[in-house]
Amino acid sequence: MTVATGQPCCAPIAREPLSESAAADLAALLKAVADPVRLRLLSLIASHPGGEVCVCDLTDAFDLTAPTISHHLKVLRTAGLIGGERRGTWVYYWVVPAQVARLGELFTPLAQPAGE
């Protein structure tokens, strides 16, 4: 009848129907990571020792032109998932943990379907 797990019960998504505006907001965030290249970019940046990566290193990891990588980085940045800064000749990017965490929280404690 009631939930069997020790969870605080239910991801936001399962607790109550998402409002139209919350859905739009979250969908925009999800769109930013719903691309193979951007997922890999995010992973590359997040897993890099030091937490920062030079664009030059990112470009080498793909079979894509620099403008394309730049475009994807901009999408991630606009979504607030990464931050970036120019330092001399190179530009460095790092992840913004709080924003990435929003994605995780959305689905995580889902587990059981609502009623059960």
Partner DNA sequence: CTATAATTTAGACATATGTCGAAGCAGGGA
Partner DNA sequence: TCCCTGCTTCGACATATGTCTAAATTATAG
Which residues in this chain contact a copy of itself in the complex, by CB under 8 A?
A: 10-11, 13-18, 20, 23-24, 26-27, 30-31, 33-40, 42-44, 46-52, 61, 94-95, 97, 100-101, 103-116
Task: Give the binding site for DNA (CB under 7 A).
Answer: 31, 34-35, 37, 54-56, 59, 63-75, 84, 86, 88-91
Proportion of the chain in helix, strand, coil states, percent, rounded to 5: 50, 10, 35
Q: How many whole angstroms separate alpha carbon 92 and alpha carbon 27?
A: 27
Would you say 40 or 77 has its CB closer to a copy of itself? 40
**82: which strand partners?**
95
